[in-house]
Structure 1
C-alpha cells in the first residue's frame, strides 16, 4: 500500500468517526446530556443567581400542578415558601444534563419546610418520569400541569426553571440547562428563605 493510499484511508476513517460523533450528539439524548453535563462541570451553564423582581401584576395564584397520587398544588396556597419549579421531559437532553444538579439542590433543601420543589413533566407521563427518577435514584417530586400556565412562567422551552419567593413573586426565570448545585444559586435560595415578605 502506498503512502498516499494510507493517508487517504486515515482521512476517510477520521471523517467517518467525526460525522458519527456528530450524529450521535444530534440524535442520542443521553450522549448530548453527557456532553452538557461535562460542560457544567467546567463552569459553564451557571444560573444568574440574583433576586430579580418580575412584574408584580402577574398573578400565579391560580396555577395548579398535580402529582401522581392526584394531589393538586395551587401556587396561590404556597405563600410563605420558596418554590422551585422546573419544567422538563425525559427525552430532553438539556433537562437530563441539569437533573443531577437539580437533585443536589433538592437534597440540600428537602427537609426544609419552607422550600418546595415541583418537577413538572412536560409530557404528563408519570410512569415514564418515575422510571427515570428511580433509575437515577432521585427522590425529586414529579408533577403534571393541572391548569392553564401563563407564558411568563413557561413558554414551551425545555428545560425552564422558575423560583418564587415567599410572597409568591417570581424572582428567577431561566430557560435552558443550568447548574443549580452552584454555590451562588444555593446561597440565593438560602437568602430567599430568610427574606419573609
Structure 2
C-alpha cells in the first residue's frame, strides 16, 4: 500500500511539472499567483535621464492608424512589448489590464501594447478572448535597442518630456499601489 501511495504522489508531481512546462496558461497562472503574493513587484525609482528622440518610432493599430511616439510628447507613455505565446506576458496582462482600466480615460497617459510577433489579428483575438480591453499595436519602424532589446515582456515608461522614467524586462505586477502612485507622480 505504501508503494502505491508513493507512486501516485510521484505521478501527480510529474504531471503537475509537465503541465507547468508545456501549457503556457498553466505557467502564467502559477506566475500570476506569485505576483499576487508580491514576488514580482516593479522597482519604481524615478530617474532623471536625458530626453530621448522619439521621432520615427511608429506603431499601428488594427484600424491602420499610425502613432509616432514623438507626437505623444507632453503625455506619459506606457509602452509594453509582449507576445501571445509568452507565459510571463500572459501572467502580467491581468495586472496591466487593471492599470489600464483605471487610467484609460486619462488624457495625460497613453498605453501602447505592442505585439512582438507583429501578428495583430491573433493578438487582438487573444485579448478579446481574455476580456482585456487594452489597445494592441504592432511596430511599424525599427525600435531602438535601448527601448526594446527582444526580452519579453518589456515595459518602458516615458515621462511627459520624453525621458525614460521606467524600464522593466520581465514580469511585474503593475496594479500594485506603489506603481499607481508612481504613475500619478509622473502625470504631475
TM-score range normalised by the length of the shorter chain: over 0.9
CA contact 2:51–2:161 (8 Å) conserved in 1: no
CA gap 1:111/1:57 in 2 versus in 1, 3 angstroms: closer
Structure 1 SS opposite 2:34: helix
Any gaps of 5 or more consecutive residues in structure 2?
A: none
Aligned equivalent of 1:149 = 143
Aligned equivalent of 2:62 = 68
Deviation at 1:58, TM superposition (A): 4.2
Q: If the length of structure 2 is used for normalisation, what is the TM-score?
A: 0.96
Structure 1 SS opposite 2:129: helix
Matched, 1:133 2:127: yes
Structure 1 SS opposite 2:168: strand
- Give the alignment partner of residue 38 of structure 1, picking from 33, 42, 48: 33
CA distance in 2, matches of 1:53, 1:177: 24
**Of the two, which has the highest radius of gyration?**
1
CA contact 2:51–2:162 (8 Å) conserved in 1: no
Any gaps of 5 or more consecutive residues in structure 1?
A: 1-5
CA distance in 2, matches of 1:80, 1:59: 13
Aligned equivalent of 1:112 = 106
CA distance in 1, matches of 2:174, 2:69: 21
Matched, 1:90 2:84: yes
* Structure 1 residue runs of 4 or more that deviate by more than 3 Å after TM superposition: none
Matched, 1:25 2:20: yes
